[in-house]
């Protein structure tokens, strides 16, 4: 067992904090972004019939006021300034807080949006070929509203306007009401190649045909200014591929995409696929025994894989593996970072190597009082 030091980064009664990401700037600061939305349970007195502690699952992952919050840490992991908010879209709610620092120092935030619609429009929209997602808690339905990226050239102090991803070819002609379908939900690590190309992956389900969710790749040749669809669509019969994350193997000119899944017995089994960076062609996906929700693949400076993942079976929390070169992933030993989440609503880790052998992992969990907050753990890794 490697040493782990854990501390709470963010917890506030009136907010539901989830889905964090972390990156290190060229100045040495650490940025932690996360999805934040109102948590209305704080309005209820604890001595009433609806105490917070009895309603762990009475918040939802979709909310019309969700946005991206940002925390800045210094080299000693001390918070520098107040929590800030990235500019919100006037129409839709922001859902994901993915971050990537480029070799030039530019930082990219990429995510996707949900558009809130009133329930009385549900049947009319469904008749038009739309399939709003129902929200049982807040009485509002939602449409997927597109994926986007934005950039910062001053270490996250200010951000560009959003650039929407193109319409994927496998949904040619498909529209959300009167709007073209752009990109797909995106949660997971993007990569930058030695040549400077940025590669990210999205997932999407065609609700009309009810086909399993698939993975599609996009690339940018101009540091996130524009995007184009590349490579083949990655799919598996009867298995939903969700929240793909990428790992770059520069010595081999290859990448691996890591998916959490639905449709396999037990749920959350890892599925990986290897691809070539020059052709972006992927091999047949491989199913693993490892289970997580979802996965974050960090390549350490010594070339090993630090794979962290949420764990939504009791005891709930976050786990990780350190996979040696040429080692089978399922053969690598599993270690525990956190196993004290008081509910299954937890996980979504993202890691950064602060220095040689020191890895910072951020994630969210359910605290004893039912609140969700952002947690950080420092893992000391033996170097080879």
Tell me the C-alpha distance between 98 and 23, whole Å.
9
pLDDT of residue 322: 96
pLDDT of residue 140: 84
pLDDT of residue 312: 95
The residues, any chain, with a CB within 8 Å of residue 45's CB and separated by 6 or more, are none
pLDDT of residue 207: 57
Render pLDDT for 26-52 as a digit per residue (tens, 0 to 9).
999 999 999 999 998 888 776 655 555
- Does the pLDDT at position 54 exceed 70? no
Q: Which of 97-101, 193-197, 230-234, 265-269 has the highest mean pLDDT?
A: 97-101
Cβ burial of 145 (10 Å; 0-12, 13-18, 19+) is buried
Tell me the C-alpha distance between 177 and 124, whole Å.
10
pLDDT of residue 52: 55
The more confidently predicted of residues 127 and 316 is 316
The more confidently predicted of residues 120 and 251 is 120
Taking the model in full, what pTM does it have? Answer: 0.94
Render pLDDT for 274-311 as a digit per residue (tens, 0 to 9).
999 988 888 889 999 999 999 999 999 999 999 999 99
């Amino acid at each position: 067992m490697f040493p782990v030091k854990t501390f709470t980064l963010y917890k506030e009664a009136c907010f539901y904090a989830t889905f964090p990401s972390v990156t290190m700037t060229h100045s040495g600061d650490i940025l932690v972004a996360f999805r934040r939305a109102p948590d209305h349970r704080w309005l209820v007195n604890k001595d009433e019939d609806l105490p917070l502690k009895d309603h762990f699952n009475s918040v939802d992952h979709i909310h019309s006021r969700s946005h991206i919050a940002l925390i800045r840490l210094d080299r000693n992991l001390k918070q520098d300034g107040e929590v800030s908010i990235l500019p919100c879209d006037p129409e839709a709610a922001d859902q994901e807080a993915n971050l990537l620092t480029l070799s030039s120092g530019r930082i990219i935030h990429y995510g996707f949006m949900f558009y809130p619609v009133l329930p009385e429009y549900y049947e009319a929209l469904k008749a038009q070929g739309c399939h709003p997602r129902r929200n049982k808690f807040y009485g509002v339905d939602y449409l997927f509203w597109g994926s986007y990226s934005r950039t910062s050239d001053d270490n996250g102090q200010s951000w560009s306007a959003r650039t929407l991803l193109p319409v994927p070819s496998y949904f040619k002609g498909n529209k959300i009401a009167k709007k073209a379908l752009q990109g797909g939900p995106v949660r997971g690590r993007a990569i930058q190649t030695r040549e400077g190309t940025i590669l990210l992956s999205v997932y999407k389900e065609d609700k009309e045909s009810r086909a399993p969710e698939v993975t599609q790749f996009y690339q940018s040749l101009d540091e996130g200014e524009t995007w184009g669809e590349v490579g083949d669509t990655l799919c598996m019969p009867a298995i939903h591929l969700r929240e793909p994350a990428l790992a770059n193997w520069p010595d081999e000119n290859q990448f691996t995409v890591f998916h959490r899944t639905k449709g396999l017995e037990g749920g959350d089994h890892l599925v990986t696929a290897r691809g070539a960076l020059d052709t972006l062609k992927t091999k047949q996906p491989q199913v693993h025994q490892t289970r997580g929700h979802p996965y974050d693949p960090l390549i350490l400076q010594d070339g090993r894989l630090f794979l962290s993942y949420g764990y939504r079976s009791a005891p709930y929390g976050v786990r990780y593996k350190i996979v040696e070169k040429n080692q089978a992933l399922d053969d690598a030993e599993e270690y525990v970072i956190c196993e004290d989440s008081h509910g299954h609503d937890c996980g979504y880790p993202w890691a950064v190597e602060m220095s040689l052998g020191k890895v910072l992992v951020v994630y969210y969990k359910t605290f004893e009082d039912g609140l969700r907050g952002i947690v950080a753990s420092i893992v000391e890794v033996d170097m080879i």
